[in-house]
Structure 1
């Protein structure tokens, strides 16, 4: 717990508006991706078909889209950002694995790696000063 507090103190003292814009862009991207998956469920089923043999295919279909939508909204507002990103990590790691197990799409692979890298950054950095987390913390 002290490590999280130390990370928050460091992040709040080194916060920049640009990083908040990157966090918001990440959240909007994830939300739009979730909307895309919900409106075209067959596309999502085709994407996860290479790892569907492992099992839990229907669970993945019902987890990915809502996790992207709800997590995206939470990341945009900076509300429980680390928890929202933790929910995204298995999806993003699965997106990278799908590219190696199925047909390789280099553009999708690069996008998944980039989003994973940004998520890992914000997992350690937190939501920053311009967020709901910081606002609620200051209300005490």
Structure 2
């Protein structure tokens, strides 16, 4: 946890805007993928059926779609980004197992390459957290202000009673 705390302190000091844009873009991509799965669930169910998950294929397909939608939305606004990233990683890693890289393995837009990029970015944001322009940062600032106000209020009360 010390490393993640150092990363957060650096982010709060330097405010790297590209980091937040990347988080928003990745969250939007995952949200879009989840929504596209929800609107057309049949191909995902078929992939799961082909992998011999007969009894749970439909439930698992909806679970995957909902995790992408909810996790993507959470990442877009920067609310519990680490948890949203960690929840996505096993799903995208298992997607890598289902892809059979064909001749277009080294193509930028091959499904395998997109899944690899997505896993790498999810790990990056699982370590780095939400960033400066996020709900998490706003809540953190608000909590610090409240804590300082309570501390100063207790200090003032102790001074007046002395």
Structure 2 length-normalised TM = 0.76
Which residue in 2 is equivalent to 1:121?
124
Contact 2:38–2:62 under 8 Å retained in 1: no
Distance 2:136 2:5 in 1: 13
Which residue in 2 is equivalent to 1:79?
79
- Aligned residues: CA RMSD: 2.1
2:140 to 125, 137, 140: 137
Answering whether residue 111 of structure 2 is matched by residue 108 of structure 1, we say yes
Return 29-38 or 47-56, whichever deviates more. Answer: 47-56
Aligned residues: 138
| Superimposed CA distance per residue, residues 27-69 of structure 1 (whole angstroms, 9 cap, x where no aligned partner) | 1111110110001010111233343348642342121000000
Which residue in 1 is equivalent to 2:45?
45
Indicate the structure (1 or 2) with the bigger Cα radius of gyration.
2
Q: CA distance change for structure 1 residues 6 and 109 in 2, over 3 Å: closer, same or farther? A: same
Q: CA distance change for structure 1 residues 3 and 55 in 2, over 3 Å: closer, same or farther? A: farther
Which residues of structure 1 form unaligned runs of 5+?
A: none
Q: CA distance change for structure 1 residues 90 and 124 in 2, over 3 Å: closer, same or farther? A: same
Distance 2:79 2:18 in 1: 18
Distance 1:126 1:14 in 2: 14
Answering whether residue 101 of structure 2 is matched by residue 95 of structure 1, we say no
1:2 Cα offset (Å)? 4.5
Which residues of structure 2 form unaligned runs of 5+?
A: 144-162
Distance 2:55 2:85 in 1: 24
Q: CA distance change for structure 1 residues 56 and 3 in 2, over 3 Å: closer, same or farther? A: farther
Structure 1 length-normalised TM = 0.87
